[in-house]
Amino acid sequence: MGRKRILITGAAGFLGSHLCDRFIKEDFHVIAMDNLITGDLRNIEHLFHLENFEFYNHDVSKFVHVPGELDYILHFASPASPIDYLKIPIQTLKVGSLGIHNLLGLAKDKKARILIASTSEVYGDPNVNPQPEEYWGNVNPVGPRGVYDEAKRFQEAITMAYHTFHGLETRIVRIFNTYGPRMRLNDGRVLPAFIGQAIRGEDLTVFGDGSQTRSFCYVDDLIEGIYRLLFSDYAGPVNIGNPDEITIREFGEEIIKLTGTKQKLITKPLPTDDPKQRRPDITKAKEILGWEPKVSRAEGLKITYEYFKSLPQDLIEKIEHKDFSSYNK
Ligand code: UDP
């Protein structure tokens, strides 16, 4: 019997590239797809020489054609940092709506099982903490985060509809803040922002009073959770994240300690609709998948700091001025 064939969209991104590595390791034939708006080929270039790896530079918002059979699809294509989806709101909406529609159609045609990347953003600025899957959320559809949050909510809805109406095998993972090697140092997210600032000798910018909370999951733990979910028989949404919750101010202090920087925390205005608290309830993941995170923040941060320090100087210095305007059609 030949290898199982899996399509991974967003394959050159942070999570997509780690998924490529995992499925190569498990001896799958990996078909990687990305349009490289926010992804970076450097994340997967070590796989290009393999006979069981192929790459398509394609925007999944347009019709997706994959020759041959497909057993699995992982839909991870989407801008995912608040800075990115502020810059490319239309593309964000399209990949979460037109893109998922194309991929569900492909899954139906190929009789493939599809797992989609959803997000804790479906809970918006939650009034319930921690957030269980049953919580419906508190989302502002017309705020700056609406383009991401509502696209992901639509994505869950259409995925469930294909499941119930067409009997498609579907899986939905709700991903909470995740970090690790291959995050972009300049994507605006708090962890690379703080570490980048420390490395460059700048002050660390805390937005608002820093009392808002997040719960950070190391990438290897997340990938293990996704892997287990794909091979489970559960079609409802499952939270995957690390419930170890911390305020952003405390987190900044941890980064100062970790990096030994002499710089301090400074305050910047809080972005609109910034969630005040976020922590996954992972009871379902524990029960259904036998999964829970293993890597502590101290361990994960150390590995990630070493990774960022090892980047070439131009990437550390570089502030991104990528022109995204043509994507907002
Ligand atoms: N944040 C911050 N300083 C920064 C970047 C982000 O204080 O330089 C805050 C942001 O306001 C939010 C939290 O850190 O409360 C996490 O932001 P991030 O963009 O990483 O992702 P989010 O969880 O909001 O999607």
pLDDT digits (tens, 9 = 90+) for 276-303: 999 999 999 999 999 999 999 999 999 9
- Kindly report the pTM of this predicted structure: 0.96
Q: How far is the CA of 189 from the centre of ligand 1 (A)?
A: 6
DSSP for 12-70? TSHHHHHHHHHHHHTT-EEEEEE--SS--GGGTGGGTT-TTEEEEE--TTS-----S--
What pLDDT shows up at residue 319? 60
Query: Catalytic residue numbers?
Result: 148
Instruction: Give the domain CATH number at 104.
Output: 3.40.50.720
305 in a domain, yes or no?
Answer: no
264 in a domain, yes or no?
Answer: no
Instruction: Supply the range of the domain harboring residue 136.
Output: 5-183+217-242+275-294
pLDDT, tens only, 182-224: 999 988 999 999 999 999 999 999 999 999 999 999 999 999 9
Structural domains of the chain, count: 1
23 in a domain, yes or no?
Answer: yes
- Asked if residue 82 has its Cβ within 6 Å of ligand 1, the reply is yes
pLDDT, tens only, 17-55: 999 999 999 999 999 999 999 999 999 999 999 999 999
255 in a domain, yes or no?
Answer: no
Q: Which of 92, 207, 268, when mutated, tests ligand 1's pocket best, judged by the most ligand atoms within 8 Å of its CB?
A: 207
Helix spans in 120-247 (H)? 146-166, 190-200, 219-230
> Which of 75, 72, 77 has the alpha carbon at shortest distance from 107?
72
